[in-house]
A and B are shown apart, each in its own frame.
Chain A
Amino acid sequence: SQQGEEDPQALSIQEGENATMNCSYKTSINNLQWYRQNSGRGLVHLILIRSNEREKHSGRLRVTLDTSKKSSSLLITASRAADTASYFCATVKDSNYQLIWGAGTKLIIKP
């Protein structure tokens, strides 16, 4: 069953704007990870946030985690055309080491 659900399913913004994607999940987690996938390629790990963390930064990326609401957000600031890709969240449940994936948000950055 699907654990992570990204929202929105698709997002189109102008270059330079900020992009925000959300992920909701159903069960308790050990950590939550965000990955990026360029069209037809493999996934690339972006950032991991643990259940006891609330916010994490990496370059232009900012991830927040709200375990009370079972949700996470990924913010990309000052977007670039190269950020065009699909973004996936994946969660790891407390008692299971498997990554459970959402269906992804397709982000398009218009030049």
Chain B
Amino acid sequence: ETGVTQTPRHLVMGMTNKKSLKCEQHLGHNAMYWYKQSAKKPLELMFVYNFKEQTENNSVPSRFSPECPNSSHLFLHLHTLQPEDSALYLCASSQGGAGEETQYFGPGTRLLVL
């Protein structure tokens, strides 16, 4: 266990559904991240929150909406997704937002969009 939990672990949704992914870290970290991992592609950074403030949004479509109510919780709200959004969505945290720090990953949510 890395101290980062994600729910649900698996999710199947239609293109018109609205769902949310949840991430919680029990490490006292101040930075949290959402990544998208597709088969045979590099990990794609989606969003970064540092001390609850969004500091990065890597040109992610608006159908993905992050929310960080406190430094321990991170959500990814999903709305009208496309089949190409099917992927493993990974949450990570680190002590601060500095890249020289180790990132701790959750187990991921495997998302399938039909």
Contacts and interface: CB of A to CB of B under 8 A. Distances in A.
Interface residues of A, number: 27
Contact of A42 (B56, B97, B102, B105): B105
B56 A98 contact: yes
Contacts of B48: 98
B106 A42 contact: yes
Contacts of A35: 105
B99 A42 contact: no
Interface stretch (A43-51, A59-67, A76-84): A43-51
Contacts, number: 60
Interface of A: 2, 4, 30-31, 33, 35, 40-45, 48, 50, 88, 90, 92-93, 96-104
Contacts of A97: 97-100
Given A101-B43, A103-B42, A41 B98 contact: no
Contact of B99 (A31, A43, A45, A103): A31
A90 B44 CA distance: 11
A8 to B, nearest CB: 13
Nearest to B35: A101
Interface residues of B, number: 25
Given A43-B90, A44-B105, A92 B99 contact: yes
Nearest to B4: A42
Given A92-B100, A97-B99, A103 B40 contact: yes
A102 B104 contact: no
Given A98-B56, A103-B40, A40 B110 contact: yes
Nearest to A99: B99
A33 B105 CA distance: 14
A102 B42 contact: yes
A101 B107 CA distance: 18
Nearest to A91: B99
Contacts of A104: 42
Given A40-B88, A102-B42, A31 B100 contact: yes
Contact of A40 (B56, B97, B108): B108
A37 to B, nearest CB: 8
